Amino acid sequence: MLTNADKFWNPLLETLPREKLQDLQVRKFRRIMAWAYENSKFHRKLYKEAGVQPADIKTMEDIAQVPKVEKSMMRNIQKKEPYPYGDMLCVPLERVTEFRQTSGTTGQPVYQPDTWQDWEWWAESWAYILYAQGYRSTDRVFIPFGYNIFVAFWAGHYGAEKLGCEVVPGGVLNTEARILKMQELRATATMATPTYVLGMADTARRKLGIDPAKDLNIQKITCAGEPGASIPATKKRIEEAWGAKVYDHIGATEIGAWSYECMEKPGGLHVNEGLFLVQIEDPETGEIIEEPGKPGKMVITAFDRIAQPCIRFDSKDIIMWHEEQCPCGRTFRLIKGGVVGRADDITKVKGVLLAPTAIEEVVRAIPELGDEYEVTVTKKGDTDDISLKVELLPEAENRKDEVMAILVDQLRVKTNLRYNISFHPYGSLPRYDVKAKRFKDLRKIH
């Protein structure tokens, strides 16, 4: 019998030869651009000023000439008419059924309206993710979050239902109650931020005497919200703690859920090229990068999002194409190692470019250290000072010097920087559920 999942999954699209896929993408781009041109004052003005019309779009190179949209432009129009979204809105207000907003870690949040059609599109994009990660109608999925006004777990919830999974919303409960509920219901899968999923395992062991790898039935974990699941050392920690497969996905409120890891885990994530167009741009020349392994800025379009379209959005994410095709058979291209940085986050310390994820990779690869760490960059006189706090596990107390030597050496190799490192008792650094703030750059304040 055909299940929801079989009906949903469209292998024809996911395995389409590249040429055909690109033809489809150009046509879909032209269609969404025309929609925005006709229905939003913001887009019409943007395109008229640049002298491009939807009918001009015939190739990928034509698409690269279409002006980009940045988050700051979205912020500028919001709280204006039609209130509170502004004139990027392409539908009458009465067609809007969902309000969401960005989490605002980098400035004022952006409001995101969606119609019911958009909401079905969100569920579909998540169903691609979950199907590729082995979710089927036999799964019972526990989601340990109150979803609030943030889209990620709402969309994960609906995507899992669309596939035919049974979904348990675990909001309101505290961490201990969530673990006990997962155990009681024999949940087979969960979705969470990497930070929270590690914290849950820790709480289970220390407060409840439950070993998630042995005493729970979780077989797969889909991560969202932070880059951790694409950082090999963090992924390994989560997989060992839970005895489960850990998969990453990448999405954003103003874009959609555009990328996912499949069960082959090829060291990268597929771009959902049926629903999105991802172009990588050389930050200096603006040219499209096609060659693998060369990092650049992502410019992304969602083909089917209609209320507040996402067309040539400059996300500030730094990504690169993977050299290889995935053995899973999908022709959707892979990006290597997920989002490798954010144009905003990558910062110069002592004249050296530093991506904070590189520090996480080092800390979490050392088994004697706890999951948490904190990095603070300050200015002392004219020089940058970078301090790193880590937690030493109690069982490693007698090997302090040895652990310190490994840490210093690895940090030097991976980041080319020296740090003032201090050890702290296990459990003393702050814990986070979502959007951890482990990297603090205080140079701009003083």
- The residues that touch Zn ion, with contacts defined as CB under 5 A, are 262, 264, 326, 328, 330
Q: To the nearest whole angstrom, how small is the minimum distance from the Cβ of residue 322 to Zn ion? A: 10
Strand partners, 98: 114
Q: Which is nearer to Zn ion, 326 or 436 (CB)?
A: 326
CB-neighbour burial class of residue 357 (10 A; exposed 0-12, middle 13-18, buried 19+): buried
Q: To the nearest whole angstrom, how small is the minimum distance from the Cβ of residue 265 to Zn ion? A: 8
Q: To the nearest whole angstrom, how small is the minimum distance from the Cβ of residue 329 to Zn ion? A: 7
Q: To the nearest whole angstrom, how small is the minimum distance from the Cβ of residue 137 to Zn ion? A: 21
Strand partners, 424: 391
Find tokens 């107390």 and name the residue: 397
Q: Which is nearer to Zn ion, 104 or 329 (CB)?
A: 329
Q: Which is nearer to Zn ion, 25 or 133 (CB)?
A: 133
Q: Which is nearer to Zn ion, 85 or 131 (CB)?
A: 131
Beta strand segments in 58-156, E? 96-101, 111-115, 140-143
Distance CA 143, CA 221 (A): 10
What angle do helix axes 400-415 and 356-364 make, rounded to 10 degrees? 150
Q: To the nearest whole angstrom, how small is the minimum distance from the Cβ of residue 202 to Zn ion? A: 31
Find tokens 């035919």 and name the residue: 164
Q: Which is nearer to Zn ion, 241 or 271 (CB)?
A: 271
Q: To the nearest whole angstrom, how small is the minimum distance from the Cβ of residue 290 to Zn ion? A: 20
Q: Which is nearer to Zn ion, 251 or 370 (CB)?
A: 251
Which DSSP string do the residues of 378-428 spell out, in sequence order?
EEETTEEEEEEEEEE-GGGGGGHHHHHHHHHHHHHHHHS---EEEEEETT-
Q: To the nearest whole angstrom, how small is the minimum distance from the Cβ of residue 251 to Zn ion? A: 18
Q: Which is nearer to Zn ion, 163 or 326 (CB)?
A: 326
Distance CA 266, CA 260 (A): 11
Distance CA 134, CA 156 (A): 14
Which uninterrupted H or E stretch holds 39? helix 18-39
Structure tokens at 322: 């993977």
